[in-house]
Amino acid sequence: MGTKPLTVRELSTPKKITWCPGCGNFAILTAVKRAIVELKIKPEDVLIVSGIGCHGKISDYINVNTFHTIHGRVIPFLAGAKIANHKLVAIGFAGDGDAYSIGWGHLTHAARRNDDIVYIVHNNMVFGLTTGQYTPTSPRNFKSRSTPYGSIEEPLNPILLSLASGSTFVARAFSGDIQHLTMVIKEAIKHKGFAHVDVLQPCVTFYNTYQEFSKKIYKLEDSGHDPGNWDKAVEKAVEWPGSGDRIPIGIFYRNEERKPYTEMLSQIRDAPLVFHKIESVDISPLLEESM
């Protein structure tokens, strides 16, 4: 790629973007590109994995290494790839259905292991691509094609669950504030360990929350929140969803002391697994044991 600095434009692909005009996904795409450019990361050193749904198309729209996987399995695929080559900047994208419905189990365990990956969730609180069903983050009484009489279920709180699971970086951003979103994504990429970013991203077609969220949102960094304090992070996490009228965004929690998974693996101390020589492995000690 030469010595010329990378531009956001160079991170585009020829692929025509098919998100609805005004979709919050555009902001996430732009913010990620900006983060890569501003952090001076080479495109060939990035691996992006996306799941199934509108968000999943993001892998077609950005010119880095990508893998478009199946529903709910972004985390294990990305975690495996990261272990195989821990020099990669590993960024996963998932929708709220992907991340919080079918794939929730993986999130808890990635947090527990402290996989060194970034996990950005496009949380629009509705299934978009399957034409508008409720998700685990849809509010109570939410009317959708699969809940025509209104949902009788409570939404889950991804920030709180993530904190409880042991995530070492937990943040929320809003696609309506691209500067702030870019800042959060950059911090998530810089973080060593599991970085979970929940992005409130209104679906203009099935659940447009843009006006409502714009009014309710406030920034944690403006409120003097200390992201080093887990208890305070939990306090902030329970503000919303719930009875509260305001939605905190920003970095809830950051723990830089816990080692990421890949740092604890002595097998990759000298070189990433992918660069290990595999020809002529000596198995004679193993046979010796069997004699």
Partner 1 sequence: MEHELSFLIGGEAGDGIQRSGYIYAKTLLRSGYYVFGYFDYPSLIRGGHNFYLGRASTRKIYSHTEHVNILAALNQETIDRHIWRLSGESFIIYDPSRSKPPENFKGVRVEVPFEEITLEVGGRKIMRNMAAVAAMTAMTGLRIETLTDVITGVFGVEKSKLNIIIARESYNYTAKKYGRRFTLENPSPGRKIILTGNEAIAIGAVKAGLKFYSAYPMTPASPILHYLAEKQHDYDIVVIQPESEISAVNMVLGASFAGVRAMTATSGGGFSLMCETVGLAAMTETPIVIVVAQRPGPSTGIATYTGQEDLRTVLHASQSEFPRVVVAPGDVDECYQRIQEAFNISEVFQLPVIVLIDKYLGESHMSTEPFTREVKIDRGKIASGNKDYKRYRLVEDGVSPRAFPSTPNIIVRGHSSEHTEEGFATPNAVVRTKMVDKRFSKLPYIEKYIEELEPVKLYGHKDAEVLLIAWGSTKGPLLEAMKILDEEQVKVRFMQICYLEPFPTATVQEIMRNHKILVDIEGNRTGQLAGLIREKTGVEIKKRILRYDGRPFSPRMLAEKVKEVLEDGN
Q: In angstroms, what is the minimal distance from the CB of 60 to partner 1?
A: 5
Q: Which of 120, 118, 119, 149 is nearest to 134 (CA)?
A: 149
Nearer residue to partner 1 within complex by CB, 30 or 65: 65
Q: In angstroms, what is the minimal distance from the CB of 148 to partner 1?
A: 30
Q: Is 92 helix (H, G, I), strand (E, B) or coil?
A: strand
State how far the alpha carbon of 142 is from the alpha carbons of 33, 174, 178, 237, 286, in Å.
Answer: 33, 21, 27, 22, 60
Q: In angstroms, what is the minimal distance from the CB of 90 to partner 1?
A: 9
Nearer residue to partner 1 within complex by CB, 105 or 242: 105
Tokens of 25: 């996904």
Contact of 27 with 175, CB cutoff 8 Å: yes
Question: How buried is residue 250: exposed, middle or buried, by Cβ count under 10 Å (0-12/13-18/19+)?
Answer: buried
Q: In angstroms, what is the minimal distance from the CB of 86 to partner 1?
A: 10
Whole-angstrom distance, CA of residue 68 vs CA of residue 77: 10
Nearer residue to partner 1 within complex by CB, 10 or 154: 10
Nearer residue to partner 1 within complex by CB, 49 or 217: 49
Contact of 261 with 114, CB cutoff 8 Å: yes
Q: In angstroms, what is the minimal distance from the CB of 270 to partner 1?
A: 8
Nearer residue to partner 1 within complex by CB, 77 or 207: 77
Ramachandran bin of 76, using left for φ above 0, alpha for ψ from -120 to 50, beta for the remaining angles: alpha
Residues that bind partner 1 (CB under 8 A): 1, 13, 15, 43-47, 49, 52, 57, 59-60, 63-70, 73, 75-85, 87-88, 105-106, 108-109, 265-268, 273-274, 276, 278-279, 281, 283, 285-287, 289-291
